[in-house]
Amino acid sequence: MTRFALTLEFDGGPFMGLQRQAHGPSIQQAVEEAAGAVTGERITLHSAGRTDAGVHALAMRSHLETAKSIAPFRLMEAINAHLRPAPVAVLACEEKPDNWHARFSCIGRAYEYRIANRRAPLTLERGRAWQVARPLDADAMHRAAQALVGRHDFTTFRSAHCQANDPVKTLDRLSVRREGDVVAIEAEARSFLHHQVRSMVGCLALVGLGRWREEQVGEALAARDRQALGLNAPPEGLYFVRALYPDDPG
């Protein structure tokens, strides 16, 4: 058996999420079926993270194993051919040793959340950004975000359906920047709780709108209570952008 690492890009709009679901299509199912058609085998896909319905990925790392003798480039091209017209693509494919695991070998994950801060209806970014019509103060959002950086109990920012054993996580970076009409929030950590990024973004948006004081983000964190959450941002603005591994160059 040969283990292949895949880098996936996908539009999460038509899917119920990355992980296989009994009640609708998933990215995992689409890739497994495409790879199965190429190899003639039952394929299982493992990924660095999970994404909810409507969440996108620019570079999700995943892996699969096959007994078929095939070059990585040929496998990538063949899987992509079978994925069409689904909005999922394999951007890169390489052989990995048997002890490399897309999820368990991962030492860092990065997400970006995009807010389209404009009144005009979205055209090109419809379904790929959260539209907020009222002006946002991105500088205030960035200042407020720094209260969340570090090791904390993130119970306030955790979904009621989160399956993690421990709500304590270390957030390595949380930054907010404006690029024209887009406010982008970047989050980096070894791992995240279910809905953590979307919940943090929702509260930062309240700061940007002037509905929360900057200090209220830290106060919500200290409350360690989901009832203290101000707002959970919708899924369509969230992107999985990067997974980090010990063997990555540089």
**d(C-alpha 201, C-alpha 88), whole Å:** 26
Query: In 3D, which of 186, 189, 179 has the Cα closest to residue 237?
Result: 186
Tokens of 245: 């591994």
**d(C-alpha 95, C-alpha 74), whole Å:** 12
> Pick the catalytic residue: 11, 52, 137, 248?
52
CB-count burial class (<10 Å; 0-12, 13-18, 19+) for 23: exposed
Q: 172 catalytic, yes or no?
A: no
- Residue 168, strand partner residues: 153
How large is the C-alpha radius of gyration of the chain?
Answer: 19
Residues with catalytic annotation? 52
